[in-house]
Amino acid sequence: MWITKLKIALAQKDVDQMEQLIESTPKFDNVEDAKTAMHLLREATELVYKLQDETENSMKQLKKNLDFLNSTAPQQTTKLDIKS
């Protein structure tokens, strides 16, 4: 049951569910289940790192976009401009 839930969390890329499952990892009765769990945990780790990298790249792109928008915005003067 735990392995199935972990597979579903991986397929849905549900990091919160994976975290909850990892915190409640059961003891496995046979070696095959333990090997499957190890493989799934490795995949979960890779997925988390991939999502972390994607988030980092998105944040960098967002910062670039904000910097661009701020640089193209009209400059506000603090003086009383009576010529305009």
Instruction: From residue 64, give the alpha-carbon distance in Å to each of 13, 57, 69.
Output: 27, 11, 9
CA gap 55, 36 in Å, rounded: 28
Q: How is 38-78 classified by DSSP, letter by letter?
A: HHHHHHHHHHHHHHHHHHHHHHHHHHHHHHHHHHHSPPPPS
pLDDT in the model for residue 74: 78
Read off the pLDDT of residues 2-50 as tens digits, 9 standing for 90 and up. Answer: 999 999 999 999 999 999 999 999 999 999 999 999 999 999 999 999 9
Domain ranges of the chain: 1-49
pTM: 0.70
Nearest of 13, 19, 7 to residue 50 by alpha carbon: 13
